[in-house]
Amino acid sequence: MSNAILVINAGSSSIKFSLFAHEPSKRELNLVYRGAITGIGTHAHFTAKALDGEPLASQDLSGADHEQAFSVLLDWLEHRDDGLSLAAVGHRVVHGGVKFNTPVRVDDAILTELDALVPLAPLHQPHNLSPIRALAKLKGALPQVACFDTAFHTTQPDIACLFALPRNLSEQGIRRYGFHGLSYEYIAQCLPEVTGELPSRVVVAHLGNGSSMAALKDGRSVATTMGFTALDGLPMGTRSGSLDAGVVLHLLNNGMDAKAVSNILYHQSGLLGVSGGISNDMADLLANDAPEAKEAVDLFAYRISRELGSLSAALGGLDALIFTAGIGENAAPVREKVCRQSEWLGIQFDAQANQQRASRISLPDSPVSVWVIPTNEEMMIAQHTRNVLGY
Ligand code: AMP
């Protein structure tokens, strides 16, 4: 029997999972299958697929809550005749605050500490913690490890984390944290293998439905575009990214309540808002001739280019730029716009390599090299889980 590590990424109404097999005597982890329970609380549905896309499960779970959904998943895992024994579960948890700078095995005391961080990420943290609690109840002896989106950024210097607000607010934890840390960590780990060295001053652009960028000095985060929440920085699918805080005050002072403003900033802005409601999806926008669609794509690329300048300033220069996540890995026109606008930084763009989706998309002599590297947050969580538990 090989050990298996279950990786869980839980949101408000869905639980995505991946199962990794792990030979005790070997270092590597192999993805065996993945799946999801969607529509939790309403029309919940459980699906699982093999790596070749073959459906392994499809079950209606209408009305199931998180705990019921979990018990179906566990039951399914336990009754598969695949020679795997579930040894541990790794969870993506959005917020580890200032304290949790590495993944941690969860017990009751840790869970209480993670609960106390809910006010810092009210839209995500409760949903990340709920499956941990459900599993502890269903299978108390199964080790669980929490892996944080914020942890990788705890290496940022204080100056990069401070807002220019009164000190008492900073002391209450109102500061920049940064997110997508598991993705950045995975990329930092791949960099030497992909590029043949570890470039010293690197900016990684994680461009997906949620987007952010991070400056890595010798593989460690020194600055990032997301701050106190995952609303900051770049425009995203439906999130505004950075904006003048005065806009929020203006909306509040002119008839909107906090809930309505929050709905605009999280769900009606970004690519969706700028495109005038055409789509939050980059592939749709690139295929659409409407001027609003073009403007949304142009603004996205423009903001990335401006943040690249800012993060390069934090690094004192730039040696390599990495594109990753759904848009970064697949949207060649976005990569081209960003690279063309950033030639002043020393990027010599290779248009042909970019079209062919080569790993390196800068010319051989380019002073700044540019790469496309697929991210794998689930693998990072599986590795952390194995390492924390000492397998
Ligand atoms: P993620 O959140 O990392 O899954 O990324 C989702 C984003 O990637 C969406 O905006 C998709 O439209 C975008 N995306 C995925 N594939 C493509 C593609 N082939 N061309 C353009 N955008 C893509």
115-118-120 Cα angle (round to 5): 140
What tokens were used for 346? 């020393």
The CB of 288 under 6 Å from ligand 1? The reply is no
Residue 23 has a pLDDT of 76
Q: Which of 182, 286, 330 to mutate to test the pocket of ligand 1 (most atoms within 8 A of CB)?
A: 330
DSSP 250-298: HHHHTT--HHHHHHHHHHS-HHHHHTTTS-S-HHHHHT---HHHHHHHH
Residue 212 has a pLDDT of 98
Q: How far is the CA of 373 from the centre of ligand 1 (A)?
A: 14
Question: Domain limits of the chain?
Answer: 2-148, 181-377
Ligand 1 atom, smallest distance to 284 CA: 12
The CB of 120 under 6 Å from ligand 1? The reply is no
Residue 266 has a pLDDT of 95
Q: For ligand 1, atom 15, which residue shows the shortest CA distance?
A: 326
Q: For ligand 1, atom 19, which residue shows the shortest CA distance?
A: 330
The CB of 282 under 6 Å from ligand 1? The reply is yes
User: Which CATH entry fits the domain spanning 2-148: 1.10.260.40, 3.30.420.40, 3.40.50.2020, 3.10.20.600?
Assistant: 3.30.420.40
Residue 63 has a pLDDT of 87
Collect the ranges in the chain with pLDDT lower than 50: none
What are 33-77's pLDDT values in tens digits?
A: 999 999 988 899 999 999 999 999 999 999 888 888 888 998 998
Which H helix or E strand runs over 16?
strand 15-22
The CB of 330 under 6 Å from ligand 1? The reply is yes
Q: How far is the CA of 342 from the centre of ligand 1 (A)?
A: 22
Q: Judging by beta carbons within 10 Å of its beta carbon (0-12, 13-18, 19+), is residue 9 exposed, middle or buried? A: buried
Residue 102 has a pLDDT of 97
Could you tell me the CATH superfamily of domain 181-377? ATPase, nucleotide binding domain (3.30.420.40)
Residue 2 has a pLDDT of 82
Q: How far is the CA of 27 from the centre of ligand 1 (A)?
A: 31
Alpha-carbon distance values, 238 to 227, 242, 292 (Å): 17, 13, 15
Q: How far is the CA of 327 from the centre of ligand 1 (A)?
A: 4
Own/partner contacts of 72-80, CB < 8 Å, gap of 24 or more, are 72/37, 72/46, 73/15, 73/17, 73/37, 73/46, 74/135, 74/138, 74/139, 76/46, 76/48, 77/4, 77/6, 77/19
Q: Give, to the nearest 10 degrees, the angle between helix 258-267 and helix 245-253.
A: 140
The CB of 125 under 6 Å from ligand 1? The reply is no
Same fold, 2-148 and 181-377: yes
The CB of 98 under 6 Å from ligand 1? The reply is no
- Point out the residues that are catalytic: 149
Residue 22 has a pLDDT of 86
The CB of 235 under 6 Å from ligand 1? The reply is no
The CB of 327 under 6 Å from ligand 1? The reply is yes
Full strand arrangement of the beta sheet holding 15-22: 55-60, 45-50, 29-38, 15-22, 2-10, 84-93, 144-148, 104-105
Residue 41 has a pLDDT of 83
pTM of the model: 0.95
Residue 71 has a pLDDT of 87
Q: How far is the CA of 54 from the centre of ligand 1 (A)?
A: 23
Q: How far is the CA of 329 from the centre of ligand 1 (A)?
A: 8
Closest by CA to 225, choosing from 347, 118, 309, 317, is 309
